[in-house]
Structure 1
Amino acid sequence: MIALALPAETGSGGGFVAPKPEDLHLPELIPWGAASGTGFGKQMLVMLLSAAIVSIFFVIASRRGNLVPGRLQFIGESAYGFVRNSIGKDIIGEKEFKPWVPLLTALFFFILVNNLMGSIPVIQLPAFSYVGSAYAMAGMVYLTWIILGFKRHGAGFMKQMLVPGGVPKPLLIVVIPLEFISNFFVRPLTHSMRLFATMLAGHMIIAICAAGTEFLFLEADGILKGLGALTLVGGIAMFLFEVFIQVLQAYVFTLLTAVYIQGSLVQEH
């Protein structure tokens, strides 16, 4: 289920000490700079590997383009069709969705593969358990949303974002600041933090289960040793649940991206 490269630490009294977030973030593979965390680390390697996997898969899947698709072409077309129809067309709308399908497809599968890296033995690192990676993805979507809104509506985009329809004018003095904070600060922050927090929390839970199982089997005595079987079963259950969350979070991030794009495209009321 999970590599036990994270040993169950023991305190001064020989008790179990759970792994910490910094234990999951491994040292740089190619360090540079004086500050820690500025070098080329495993997280960067996972990001590059994920981009290569997604790119190579879709290039190979679409290379022949047979009328009767083979197995790989069928998988590629089904994957593309899922994002195209279930996210792009359903959320953005039939008239506007087509130019945005490549972006949504790339986002979904890049995030999905990066998340699933946390469940692959030896690699076992979801790249978005680093908050900087999540900030970068959400920042790209945020800039796309802002630029598209101003390109489509000009200065009227600000009115759409800050002045909800039907609000009495005396209340606007309160509503406008709240809408500004919500749309331009809270929205990108929650978009990134949702992805980061779920990936880090799930990875931590699995690591704790693995370290606890190792500690109970190898260090504990008596009846506590038998409890290692319970933590092992619980760890397997959490591992399967985490795979589900990894897929779900890729979908949610891409879905919200489509919602933001749709919000930039809609006509001013």
Structure 2
Amino acid sequence: MAFKGEFHPPSIDYEFFPADQWLTGFAGDAFVLDRLMIVRLLMTVVLLGLFMFAMRNPRLVPRGMQNVAEVFLDFVRVHISEEILGKEQGRRFLPIIATIFFSVVAMNLPAIIPGLNISPNARIGFPLVLALLGYVTFIYAGSKRYGFAKFVKASVVIPNLPPALHLLVVPIELVSTFILRPATLTIRLMANMLAGHLILVLLFSATNFFFWQFNGWSLIAVGTSLLSVAFTLFELLVIFLQAYIFALLVAVYIDLALHAESH
């Protein structure tokens, strides 16, 4: 049996830097929108809409969407915020940590939503914004408790070291604490979502290729289809896992800032 069709190779350049843009020529192109920015705005509206709908009429005994929203909020509060920071500081920084967690989830989900098929977190912009939010938060937490200068000193100077070793250790601690933390947060999230997207593109493209271009290899196309579905389910796990890791690390950095003197 011969299949008639045409294989269309994927264009990664077009997906991440699409030619179609909106609001060009307005305010010096300051508000230009491309496909990924549209997806970001869409998922932001969806996330806000879901929480507004869930909490539109809160009840003491939650049910329906309020119950779902509170289950997820309790997960972030109990298993991330209070687990790392304790009850008092956990509740204090919960709004930031919860915002980061749900933002990462919302921006990761388009990777497996048909019609969107790409995570905005696979491009560096949004992960960098979230990393800078965490960065500012832990610097604020440490500066608020110790004062900025004392916080920086406590973060980079390890007590009871021989004086000569400070010449080596202080620059390492300075780079590790104040430069590498936001960089590693950004790259970890972006790289994981980019890698997942590329693997899905390759699997679905292989299915398309074997089915239309090599009719006798259609059984291989069935195999790559099954692998595509399996990896999509795995990517769903990665979506939540990356949100958990990102929020957890921000909580850890805040805790380290709050206890900088016990470095």
Same fold, judged at TM 0.5 (above): yes
Measured at CA, do residues 218 and 261 of structure 1 come closer, stay the same or move farther in structure 2, by a change above 3 Å?
same
- Between 158-167 and 39-48, the greater mean CA deviation after superposition: 158-167
- Which residue number in structure 2 is paired with residue 32 of structure 1? 24
Q: Which amino acid is 1:29 matched to?
A: Q
Q: Which amino acid is 1:235 matched to?
A: S
User: How far apart, in 2, do the equivalents of 1:63 and 1:226 lie?
Assistant: 51
Tell me if 1:212 matches 2:206.
yes
Asked if the contact 2:151–2:260 (Cα under 8 Å) also holds between the matched residues in 1, the reply is no
User: How far apart, in 1, do the equivalents of 2:255 and 2:96 lie?
Assistant: 14
Q: Which amino acid is 2:62 matched to?
A: P
**Superposition map of 1:6-85 within 5 A:** 8-9=8-9, 19=10, 21-25=12-16, 26-30=18-22, 32=24, 39-85=32-78
Three-state SS of the structure 1 residue aligned to 2:176 is helix
- Between 253-262 and 137-146, the greater mean CA deviation after superposition: 137-146
**Superposition map of 1:83-162 within 5 A:** 83-154=76-147, 155-162=149-156
**Superposition map of 1:238-253 within 5 A:** 238-253=231-246
Cα shift at 1:200: 0.6
Q: Report the identity percentage.
A: 32
Ranges in structure 1 where 5+ consecutive residues have no aligned partner? 1-5, 10-18
User: How far apart, in 1, do the equivalents of 2:139 and 2:213 lie?
Assistant: 55
Asked if the contact 1:27–1:37 (Cα under 8 Å) also holds between the matched residues in 2, the reply is no
4+ residue runs of structure 1 moved beyond 4 angstroms? 35-38
Q: Which amino acid is 1:46 matched to?
A: V
Instruction: Give the structure with the larger helix fraction.
Output: 2
Q: Alpha carbon RMSD of aligned pairs, Å? A: 2.4
- Which residue number in structure 2 is paired with residue 232 of structure 1? 225
Ranges in structure 2 where 5+ consecutive residues have no aligned partner? 1-5
Q: Which amino acid is 1:195 matched to?
A: L
Q: Which amino acid is 1:206 matched to?
A: L
TM-score (norm 2): 0.88
- Which residue number in structure 1 is paired with residue 247 of structure 2? 254
Asked if the contact 2:154–2:260 (Cα under 8 Å) also holds between the matched residues in 1, the reply is no
Q: Which amino acid is 1:47 matched to?
A: R
TM-score (norm 1): 0.87
Measured at CA, do residues 197 and 20 of structure 1 come closer, stay the same or move farther in structure 2, by a change above 3 Å?
farther
Asked if the contact 1:209–1:232 (Cα under 8 Å) also holds between the matched residues in 2, the reply is yes
Cα shift at 1:166: 4.1
Cα shift at 1:42: 1.7
- Between 74-83 and 145-154, the greater mean CA deviation after superposition: 145-154
User: How far apart, in 1, do the equivalents of 2:116 and 2:90 lie?
Assistant: 36
Q: Which amino acid is 1:27 matched to?
A: A
Asked if the contact 2:7–2:212 (Cα under 8 Å) also holds between the matched residues in 1, the reply is no
Q: Which amino acid is 1:111 matched to?
A: V
Tell me if 1:180 matches 2:169.
no
- Which residue number in structure 2 is paired with residue 16 of structure 1? none
User: How far apart, in 1, do the equivalents of 2:170 and 2:224 lie?
Assistant: 51
Three-state SS of the structure 1 residue aligned to 2:89 is coil
Q: Number of residue pairs matched?
A: 254
Measured at CA, do residues 225 and 141 of structure 1 come closer, stay the same or move farther in structure 2, by a change above 3 Å?
same
Cα shift at 1:225: 3.4
User: How far apart, in 1, do the equivalents of 2:229 and 2:45 lie?
Assistant: 29
- Between 178-187 and 46-55, the greater mean CA deviation after superposition: 46-55
